[in-house]
Structure 1
């Protein structure tokens, strides 16, 4: 898989969207016995099988149990996704990675080791003591307070969102207690403003574009 991750710009057209019948044809021969103990016992075997299938295009590891329903492969809306919850999850991942939260950041030692295993982004590999270089998107310590102060001092109309200042702890340099709607407000309207003077321009441009997605 590592040849898929070289940091190149992806300019190809998106792949054809698979129908339920297409997916069913790909997974119908996969033999799966559901259960936690069976899953643990079979994990090493599957890992060996995947290593022996280098170059194979098979991307499925099991057949979804819902395909046992006779109509499932013909169901046009197989999954109903909650956009607000998705946005909150994305916002949480971005925010806590920007603030380098030790518990919730997605940029941690394990992620850096994955980069090393894939042989990419040499500048972000951990050293022998598992110390990691600061990523371009991480807000430096000297600027985190300024970033949080901007959010803390923003005033919005009554009922527009939660009082964000109550959710910011400047001493601990963290944000807590945000609901889905609050994350939506910050992600779409406030984040593009607060990051302009604390992050490099190339990172700001990407985050502003992402903020407009929702």
Structure 2
């Protein structure tokens, strides 16, 4: 069972506070404010978040992905369109993203509808990726069972040979998704577990804010 008691693991929060009066009118602007703040203190992979989807049995399934772009219309990440998450999104195109920035005692949850980004946008991003990542996108049959790592290495070698004398273009089965938010919650850790929670909900083109109990 390991040393110590997991029930004794505690942390008291309190470096910041959050209120309806302090947040910006638009959740994307508020997200940008917190994201840039986290970039200064969180270190690498500040853009890591848990993407949660629903499987065929309506059971939530989460995994860490990397946010690659955010704007007024939503939050973009990239993956294999034949992966497990992609199959789930095709069946149920709703998802959530959860960001946690430990250094700032902050969490952001984003919920909304998922769509594929236009192919030309995926093309541009694919060209910006390191060559090894481009080859990996071609070589990995993501989420499918494979016999061993040697199988992947062989696929990588075959991909390198294939594109030795031609442009390494984006495979049609790989590209971006954008999560278009309908709800965004900002959580700030506070003392005695009395955390601050401000949630934005969308009413047409207008964002409304509410304060939630911790």
TM-score, scaled relative to structure 2 = 0.24
Higher strand content, 1 or 2: 2
Higher helix content, 1 or 2: 1
TM-score, scaled relative to structure 1 = 0.24
Question: 1 or 2 for the larger relative contact order (CA 8 Å, sep ≥6)?
Answer: 2
